[in-house]
């Protein structure tokens, strides 16, 4: 496959202009996975705010406190790397995705602002900042949903409102599901059972959204359809769908077991399952698009800057990436091991 890509671009495999854009494509994929996995349950907590009693609302926000510093960095890193490494691709995507990007960035800013002010506000003002945090979460989730809908169906217009609404509902359900599964990892009160009940209610909407996105992506582009149904890809494709089906069934059964018995020993497995499902979906979309950033228009090599710029950016990544990686790994490792509410 590498040789075929090299021949199609007219670049040799060892040329930095060939392999550096590929490296950054996978870096962006990992950053997007971080947004989905970690910022996803952060957004989901905000989406849950209007549907929880005041005491549980504050409990969720307090439980989120230690995670905020690490979670909010993913969106900023993604945009910074994208704009720097693929300037032509970013300008084209930003023109098409202006509203989703605006919603995502405004939502991220509102959540950070509300969280910081809430930590310093008196008790009487905390409901206001909780509401602002929730508004930011709905803006972020809407931005992600519109971005996904437009990415999957590039010709999206007002006549595609059914698909857009389905993707919107599925994205909201996905973030709520991640938040519910995250709550199960540390809570042992009545909130645990409530989270499991909500998660079990939305898990099928997430499955429906993933199926709809896959079908629209394949049916609206012949090249993507051929790539997925080609005889050489049939075994991996069917294996992927079977694994995802098993994961959804297992996830729903575990959530319902917590609904029946809140003292069930289900802790981390639901969060791992929903994160794995999102990662598999993300890999499927990336595989469908690769090597394009704008489908059928702009490849990763077309969108890359000059050779000298790429070398400088690669040098910066070699220096900065280990520092950022070690910082995040150590931070999350400490948080995953720290279970104060459950132990209490």
Residue position matching structure tokens 């098409």: 96
pLDDT at 333: 64
Three-state helix/strand/coil letters over 283-298: HHHHHHHCCEEECCCE
Can you tell me the mean pLDDT for 238-254?
Answer: 92
Higher pLDDT, 124 or 181: 181
Checking if the pLDDT of 340 tops 50, the result is no
Question: What is the DSSP secondary structure assignment for residue 328, as one 8-state letter?
Answer: H
This prediction has a pTM of 0.85
Q: Is the peptide bond before 83 cis (omega within 30 degrees of 0)?
A: no
- What is the helix (H) or strand (E) element at residue 95, kind and residue range? helix 87-96
Beta-bridge partners for 292: 299
Segment among 11-20, 46-55, 71-80, 242-251 with least mean pLDDT: 11-20
Calculate the alpha carbon distances from 99 to 44, 96, 339 in Å: 21, 8, 39
Please state, in angstroms and rounded to a whole number, the distance separating the CA atoms of residues 183 and 161.
33
Three-state SS sequence of 130-173: HHHHHHHHHHHHHHHHHHHHHHHCCCCCHHHHHHHHHHHHHHHH
User: 147 Cβ partners below 8 Å, 6+ apart?
Assistant: 97, 100, 101, 104
- Angle formed at CA 324 by CA 79 and CA 285, multiple of 5 degrees: 45
Range of lowest pLDDT (10-19, 133-142, 175-184): 10-19
> Is residue 63 scored above 50 in pLDDT?
yes
Closest CA to 76 of 46, 112, 23: 112
Given a cut of 90, whether residue 198 has pLDDT beyond it is yes
The per-residue pLDDT for range 304-317, each reduced to its tens digit, is 777 677 777 777 76
pLDDT of residue 55: 86
Helix, strand, coil share of the chain (percent; to 5): 85, 0, 15
């Amino acid at each position: 496959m590498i040789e075929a890509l090299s021949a199609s671009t007219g670049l040799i495999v060892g040329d930095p202009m060939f392999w550096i854009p590929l490296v950054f494509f996978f870096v962006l994929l990992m950053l997007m996975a971080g947004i989905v996995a970690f910022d996803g349950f952060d957004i989901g907590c905000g989406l849950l705010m209007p549907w929880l009693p005041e005491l549980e609302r504050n409990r969720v926000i307090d439980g989120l406190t230690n995670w905020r510093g690490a979670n909010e960095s993913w969106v900023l890193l993604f945009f910074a790397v994208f704009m720097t490494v693929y300037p032509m691709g970013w300008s084209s995507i930003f023109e098409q995705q202006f509203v989703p990007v605006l919603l995502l960035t405004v939502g991220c800013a509102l959540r950070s602002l509300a969280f910081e002010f809430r930590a310093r506000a008196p008790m009487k003002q905390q409901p206001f900042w909780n509401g602002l945090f929730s508004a930011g979460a709905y803006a972020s989730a809407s931005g992600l949903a519109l971005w996904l809908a437009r990415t999957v169906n590039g010709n999206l217009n007002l006549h595609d409102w059914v698909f857009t609404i389905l993707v919107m509902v599925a994205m909201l359900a996905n973030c709520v599901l991640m938040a519910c599964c995250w709550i199960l990892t540390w809570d042992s009160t009545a909130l645990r059972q409530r989270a499991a009940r909500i998660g079990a209610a939305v898990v099928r909407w997430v499955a429906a959204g993933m199926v709809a996105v896959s079908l629209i992506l394949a049916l609206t582009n012949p090249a993507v359809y051929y790539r997925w149904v080609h005889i050489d890809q049939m075994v991996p494709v069917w294996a992927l769908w079977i694994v995802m089906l098993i994961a959804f069934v297992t996830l729903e059964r575990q959530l319902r077991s917590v609904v029946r018995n809140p003292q069930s020993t289900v802790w981390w497995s639901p969060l791992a399952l929903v994160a794995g499902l999102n990662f598999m979906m993300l890999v499927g979309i990336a595989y469908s698009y690769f090597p394009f950033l704008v489908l059928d228009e702009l490849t990763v090599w077309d969108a890359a800057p000059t050779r000298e710029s790429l070398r400088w950016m690669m040098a910066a990544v070699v220096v900065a990436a280990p520092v950022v990686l070690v910082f995040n790994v150590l931070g999350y490792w400490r948080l995953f091991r720290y279970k104060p509410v459950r132990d209490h």
